[in-house]
Structures are given as structure tokens and as C-alpha cells.
Amino acid sequence: MRLLYVCTGNTCRSPMAAALTEKLGKELALPYALEVRSRGLYAAPGDPLSQYAREALGERGIEMEHQAAMLEEEDMKWADLVLTMTMQHKRHLWEEFPDFQDKTFTLKEYIREHGPQKAAGADAEATGASPAAEAEGPEESKAKQPQESGESGDGPDDFSWEYLESYFSSLDVRDPFGGELEVYRQTRDELEENIRHLLQLLAASVSQPEDAL
């Protein structure tokens, strides 16, 4: 499995993600070989890892030598899965490398699209009901439908844009650039949690029998 992480400058988020992936991959004893790269959309080739990123990783026992590198088409061809840090990064890749859209996601988006919640949603669609509706009962669910579809309140546009803005921002990994060490720790922890979920999902998909796929 070849994973490619992409951020802006390749000095903070994507190299931290790559280092954490390699560490967690060893801890989880994955049923597949793992190769990891990180690249930047606007990297200054040769720039070192951010000092605070280095310190935050060091607190996890990770020592990393890193030089920033620009994303190239060869990297996109090499990767089995391309994971960006933000929706803006993903949109950039979709426009610049349209042939690879089917394997390009944000890190959090991939987890949401392929995790247990997605499977539960698919089962609910097959039965014609949502998990939330089943839990609430028909009357409570019916009462919420107008608001959820934008038919009441200040207007459908207000609801839709607020929802979309909130949804897409929730798929981003916070950029620590310019922040203090504590901000880098928070980004490290955010990455660590999501990468752990990612590797577990990938392990489950690899070990799943072919007739169950």
C-alpha cells in the first residue's frame, strides 16, 4: 500500500502525517507492506521540517530527517491513495491531476466515506430509513424533515451554505504553521487519531474475503 500525503509547504502537516503513519503502521502489525511519501503543493525544495513539528514528533519518540519536496505527477502515479490535509488541497489536485481523482481524498473524508458510519448509512438507504429516523421514531423524524431540507428558518440558502461550510471545514486538518508548540501538538494529535483509524480501515479492507467485497 502506497500512501501519499499532501499539504501546502511540506514542512508541517504532511511530513508529520507520514512519520506518524510509519510509526503506527509498525505498532499495528498491518497485513500489508506500507510505503509513505509526503509532498507540498507550494514547497520550497530542501526546506527542513518545522522545528515545532520536529519537537511534537519527538514527544512521540519519532526522530525525522526531512527536506521539503514539490508534488509531481510521478508521485500521483506512484500512490495507491492520495490524502490531502484540506478540501482546498484536494480541489487543487482534482484540477491539476484529473486522471487521479478516484484515489484523491482528504484524510478525514476518506475515513468518513469508508468507515463504519458509511456502511451504516448504506444499510439505511437500502431499507429506506436513516439510523437517526429509526432511533427517533416516525413522528419525531417527520417533525425534523422541513428544517433538515431547508424548508423553514431563514431560508434554504442560509441553511445550505452554513451546512456546507461547516461540513467541508470539518474535513480539514488544522494548519499549525506560525503557531506555538502547543498548536503543533494539537495537529499531531489530530493526525495521529485519524491515521490510526485510516490504517485500521485499510487493514480491514485487505483482510476482508473477496466474496464479501
> Which domains are present in the chain?
2-112+175-212 (3.40.50.2300), 129-172 (no CATH)
Q: DSSP of 122-185, one letter per residue?
A: HHHHHHT--HHHHHH-HHHHHHHHHHHTTSSSS-HHHHHHHHHHHHHHTTSPPP-TT--HHHHH
Cα gap 9→7, rounded to integer Å: 6
Cα gap 67→141, rounded to integer Å: 53
13, 37, 39, 54: which is the annotated catalytic residue? 13
Question: Is 112 one of the catalytic residues?
Answer: no
Q: From first to last of its 213 residues, what are the pLDDT tens digits of the chain?
A: 999 999 999 999 999 999 999 999 999 989 899 999 999 999 999 999 999 999 999 999 999 999 999 999 999 999 999 999 999 999 999 999 999 999 999 999 999 999 876 544 444 444 444 434 444 444 444 444 444 444 444 444 555 656 555 666 789 999 999 999 999 999 999 999 999 999 999 999 876 554 443
Q: Report the DSSP beta bridge partners of residue 36.
A: 3
Stated pTM of the model: 0.78
Element holding 38 (H helix, E strand): strand 35-40
Please identify which residue in the block is written with the cell numbers 519519532.
62
Question: Is 12 one of the catalytic residues?
Answer: no
7, 37, 39, 188: which is the annotated catalytic residue? 7
Give CA separation, 52 vs 48, 129, 178, 192, in Å.
11, 47, 10, 16
